[in-house]
Amino acid sequence: MEQTFVMIKPDGVQRGLVDLCLRVLVGEIISRFEKKGFYLKGLKMVSVERSFAEKHYADLSAKPFFAGLVEYIISGPVVAMVWAGKNVVVTGRKIIGATNPADSAPGTIRGDLAIEIGRNVIHGSDSIESASKEIALWFSEGVAEWQSNLHPWIYE
C-alpha cells in the first residue's frame, strides 16, 4: 500500500502542551489522518540534529529560507509518522493544506491551526519518491505491517 511520511513540527508539539499529560494538537493531527481511513505504521517523538534536518530538507538548501527552516525543525522535538493508504501522498497533502497558512483552506490542518509559513505545524511528503526517501531516512528501523479488520468497510 502507498505510504507517506508526516511530521508534526516543533511548534505543533509545543502548542499541544496544555498540561503535563495531554497533547491536544498532536492528537488532533493524528486523528484527522486516522478518521480519514489511513493506517498509522510508524510513530516516534524525536529531536533531530542539525545535519539530519539539513538532509531531510536537502532539496531546499539553495532557498533563502533554508537556514531559518533548519533552525525551526531543530528547535524542539518533532513527531515523525508513516501513514499508509490509497493515494495517501496526494490526499495527505490535501489534509495538510497549502504551504502558507494564509492560503490554506479552512478545514485543512494548516488552514485551521497555523498562521505563519515558517510555523506551519506539519510536514507531508510531496511525492511517492520523496515519501520513500523520507521514510528510509526517518524510519531506517522499519515500520509496522498491519491492516485493520475494518479494511473492507473503508476500501472497495
Pick one of Mg ion, ligand UDP, none as the site partner of residue 147 (Cβ within 5 to 8 A by kind): none
User: Does residue 128 bind Mg ion (CB under 5 A)?
Assistant: no
Pick one of Mg ion, ligand UDP, none as the site partner of residue 67 (Cβ within 5 to 8 A by kind): none
Distance between CA 127 and CA 132 in Å, rounded?
A: 9
The pairs formed by 109-113 with CB atoms below 8 angstroms and a separation of 24 or more are 109/29, 109/32, 113/12, 113/25, 113/28, 113/29
User: Does residue 90 bind ligand UDP (CB under 6 A)?
Assistant: no
Q: Cβ-closest residue to ligand UDP?
A: 99
User: Does residue 90 bind Mg ion (CB under 5 A)?
Assistant: no
Radius of gyration of the CA atoms of the chain, in A: 15
Q: Give the residue numbers annotated as catalytic, written as ranges.
A: 123
The identity of residue 103, as a single letter, is: D
Distance between CA 71 and CA 29 in Å, rounded?
A: 23
Residues 22-61 that bind ligand UDP (CB under 6 A): 60
H-run or E-run covering 122: strand 122-124
User: Does residue 65 bind ligand UDP (CB under 6 A)?
Assistant: yes
Beta carbon nearer to ligand UDP, 60 or 144:
60
**Stretch of 13-21, 35-43, 114-122, 126-134 contacting Mg ion, by CB under 5 A:** 126-134
**Stretch of 14-22, 115-123, 128-136, 138-146 contacting ligand UDP, by CB under 6 A:** 115-123
Q: Are 56 and 73 in contact (CB under 8 A)?
A: yes
Binding site for Mg ion (CB under 5 A): 126
